[in-house]
């Protein structure tokens, strides 16, 4: 069975992959995949917001949940901002106040899981943006076939 030729590093869209990390879906938007970029943005943002609503802002914590944070940070600066809010508002608070601010048990775990799944989903999307070709969106292909 023949092996495929090795990928040329010049074909990789590193800038688009970085843009996809900064704001989920932005890498695809800059490639001309507008519909896909919007769906990615809405999907990842929905999972992050849902995770924060369910588990609280302490669902993202790089000190206590470092393995989860490795998956969550793939969502980009949004998660880093949530982690900074956690460190500022919850970790620095006195014990009495901290007990009222943290999410409890399984509810917090579900929020952590939602945000981690958003990060893993965005990681796959970043890999897709890294190798995607410009202006090959399904909408454009459908219009070209009709003409």
The tens-digit pLDDT sequence of the chain (147 residues) is 666 655 555 678 899 999 999 999 999 999 999 999 999 999 999 999 999 999 999 999 999 899 999 999 999 999 999 999 999 988 788 888 777 778 778 999 999 999 999 999 999 999 999 987 776 666 555 565 555
146: alpha, beta or left? (left if phi > 0; alpha if psi -120 to 50): alpha
DSSP assignment of 64-87:
T-HHHHHHHGGG-HHHHHHHHHHI
Q: Within a domain: residue 146?
A: no
Q: Which residue has the tokens 């969106």?
A: 137
Provide the residue range defining the domain that includes 51. 14-137
SS (HEC) of 21-35: HHCCCHHHHHHCCHH
The count of structural domains within the chain is 1
Asked if residue 143 is part of any domain, the answer here is no
Query: Does residue 147 belong to any structural domain of this protein?
Result: no
What global pTM score does this model have? 0.81
């Amino acid at each position: 069975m023949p092996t495929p030729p090795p990928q040329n590093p010049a074909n990789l869209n590193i800038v688009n992959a970085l843009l996809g990390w900064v704001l989920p879906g932005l890498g695809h938007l800059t490639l001309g995949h507008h519909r896909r970029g919007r769906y990615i943005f809405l999907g990842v943002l929905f999972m992050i917001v849902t995770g924060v609503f369910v588990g609280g802002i302490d669902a993202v914590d790089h000190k206590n949940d470092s393995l989860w944070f490795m998956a969550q940070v793939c969502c980009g600066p949004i998660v880093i901002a949530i982690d900074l809010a956690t460190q500022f508002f919850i970790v620095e608070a006195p014990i009495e106040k901290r007990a009222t601010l943290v999410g409890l048990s399984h509810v917090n775990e579900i929020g952590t899981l939602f945000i981690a799944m958003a990060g893993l989903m965005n990681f796959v999307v970043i890999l897709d943006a890294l190798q995607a070709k410009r202006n090959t969106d399904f909408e454009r292909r459908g219009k070209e076939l009709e003409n």
